[in-house]
Amino acid sequence: MSVRYIESKKTFMLQTRNTTYQMKISDYGYLLHLYYGERMEDEDLSYLIQLQDRGFSPNPNEAGNDRTFSLDVLPQEFSSDGCCDYRLSSIEIKNGDGSYAFVGKFVKYAIYSGKYALEGLPSLRVTEQDTADTLEIWLEDKVSQLTVVLCYCVFEEKDIITRAAMVVNQSADTIYLNRLMSVTMDFMDSEYDFIHLDGRHTMERELSRSPLSYGIQTIGSFRGASSHQHNPFAVLCDRDANEDYGRCYGFSFVYSGNFVCKVEKDQYDQARIIMGIHPKHFSFQLKSGESFTAPEVVLAYSGKGLTHLSHMYHNAYRENLCRSPLAKEMRPILINSWEAAYFNFDEKKLLEIAEAAVSMGVEMFVLDDGWFGNRNSDNAALGDWVVNTEKLPGGLKGLSDKIHNMGLKFGIWIEPEMVSEDSELYRQHPDWCLQIPSRQPSRGRFQLVLDLSRADVRDYIVESISEVLDSAKIEYVKWDMNRFITDAWSSIAEKEKQGEIYHRYILGLYDIMERIILSRPQVLFCGCCGGGGRFDPGMLYYQPQIWCSDNTDAVCRLKIQYGTSFVYPISTIESHVSVCPNEQTGRYVPMKTRGVTAMDGILGYELDSTRMTDEEKQICKEQIKKYRSYYPLIAKGDYYRLTNPYSFSQYVAWEHVSKDKREALLSLVLTEKESNDAQQYVKAKGLIPDMRYQVDGLEGSFSGQLLMSAGIPVPSSLLQYEAVQYYIRAV
């Protein structure tokens, strides 16, 4: 098995194909972290623990006069709280006597084939192609009678380890869980850079990299969603690590709500990283016998740089996370009505857009916001999921039938989690939204958030949305969320349980998605949250693709998609060609470039096809034809970032390479043009050095080594924002 316990050494050994993870039970029963990194064969790494008197670092009572044993300096798997360790803690408990303390010691373990289960939470699953083993370790605080169960699953071939945690209250008292981190990892050194994905609405997942400094560095979200501002993903890597070199440790949180990730460099130049549900306004009541389960974190280690780390996440998320059977199929190329018509449309206008798109080779028409209730702007009708027959006299079925008669598939937009104050639903059930009593609610986009912690609210959403989806032939659904959570108070929860609402909202959302999405495997669901405000593994578990950003400017998308690619597969990134000048930036980018950028994801269109010239339609038709032929490469191949748009300004380049390395698609956008500029060369990656390749547009054949070492000349004729693609195939 990939998990072993060595009794004589009191060590646990977790082995993937290329990595080793090792832990040790100390003399006093504490679980210490020894190592995570390159695979070691039957090595005992206990020698790495070097004890010495650290002065003002206190010692647990059971150590007696041994002043060298202090939890304040020892590397731990799950750090205690309130006893000897002043660093970031894995847990915070308010015990029945009012004290804040948890000191967990090893009591038992279990090893078994397969994977642990996390009830009500998304997580990686084991496929027939995987070898996976689980380790569970019980840590008990005998005074408070609380148990923490640490769960590890080793995906041997994928080089992935998942971690989760559960707290069980075995005492007679009611306790309050104020923090439970899904992962804690200690490093005996700290010469690392901290990489994370920052941003804002319309500029999500921008790469941020900084060296660890003394103290605590923090990212997270307290917005009720994973957010535009920070993504639940982080990397610790060597200071000199790059795409192809260096140690890189990845941490990806499979959760869609509030989260936190903190990294601390301590007084002795050690580092600790924690990741889990954000503790702000989090207080979970556990009565005697009750338990709480934290979401999982997906760990990956690469000794070969950031590209290899990305490949591991891409493979695991494509194959072990996305649940939809459509995730493995080619996605239909769609045109969306939003930027073409916004709220101002009728059936005639929609049919004209669809008809004009047919000649482009588009395969699906998607009706965005504005089709229901009194929805003529964004300040009314959310929650009233009844078709507006003034706009659509034949309802969704009538429109769907006409769209299908054109040879197109049909999709719609929904926003099930929200309610407008100007709606029949709110007038009938004002208590169904999150709203603090005696306070005026704050608003976002003129809407409030429904209380998904309530079963009756969830039932209404499932019933009303199901009725819509069953009323017509609908093959695609864009599931949106256009404001974050405030006023997190539920009208039916006891006051002692109001600190549970943020998490119970997410559990409620997952329950709704289980009932709506997973019961309709034939429907392709696309996630959205003001664009990319909830682009996380929890959403990908239910929806195999997510609208990457509301910013459709092709040049801005180069950075957005660059950052997204560090952890998320290209097959999950929905990316559209839109009108120019761009409606967000006013920038003009050639149609070809917009297509090349959008091909770095799931290609689609977000424009009014009735206003396009014949030449533009022909360009799109050629784009779609190319995309279809390249799709296996783009969706299933290995991805290489050839340039860093934050440090290299001349061009942005990327490459998709087939798993057998016999073909590749290299794409490039010129981002900075100077007069009489120097000749540039773009170097391929991922090819077989001694294999011969042909490159479209170049005469002759070339060795893989030559294309990777000398490169391909960037055409000097390219103007700023123009693009070029090279299809490379073995001969």
Distance, in Å, from the CA atom of 372 to the CA atom of 117, rounded to the nearest integer, reads 39
3-state secondary structure at position 542: coil
Max intra-chain CA distance, the chain: 86
Q: At what angle do helices 554-564 and 591-598 cross, to 10 degrees?
A: 10
The contacts of residue 534 (CB under 8 Å, 6+ apart) are 225, 226, 227, 256, 481, 527, 528, 546
**Has 616 been annotated as catalytic?**
yes
Distance, in Å, from the CA atom of 213 to the CA atom of 206, rounded to the nearest integer, reads 21
Q: At what angle do helices 591-598 and 614-636 cross, to 10 degrees?
A: 20
Distance, in Å, from the CA atom of 15 to the CA atom of 28, rounded to the nearest integer, reads 26
From the list 92, 204, 206, 536, the catalytic residue is: 536
Let me know if 731 is exposed, middle or buried by CB neighbors in 10 A (0-12, 13-18, 19+). exposed
Rg of the chain, C-alpha, whole Å: 27
**Has 44 been annotated as catalytic?**
no
Helix (H) or strand (E) holding 357: helix 347-358
Lookup result for tokens 């857009």: 353
Query: C-alpha 311: how far from its chain's center?
Result: 15
Phi and psi of 711, rounded to 5°?
90, -175
Alpha helices (H) in 418-532, listed in sequence order: 424-428, 455-469, 501-516
Distance, in Å, from the CA atom of 112 to the CA atom of 104, rounded to the nearest integer, reads 23
Beta strands in 69-122 (DSSP E): 91-94, 105-113
Distance, in Å, from the CA atom of 165 to the CA atom of 144, rounded to the nearest integer, reads 18
The contacts of residue 698 (CB under 8 Å, 6+ apart) are 712, 726
**What is the Cβ-side half-sphere exposure of residue 295, based on CA atoms within 13 angstroms?**
30
From the list 44, 66, 157, 616, the catalytic residue is: 616
Residues with a catalytic annotation lie at: 536, 616
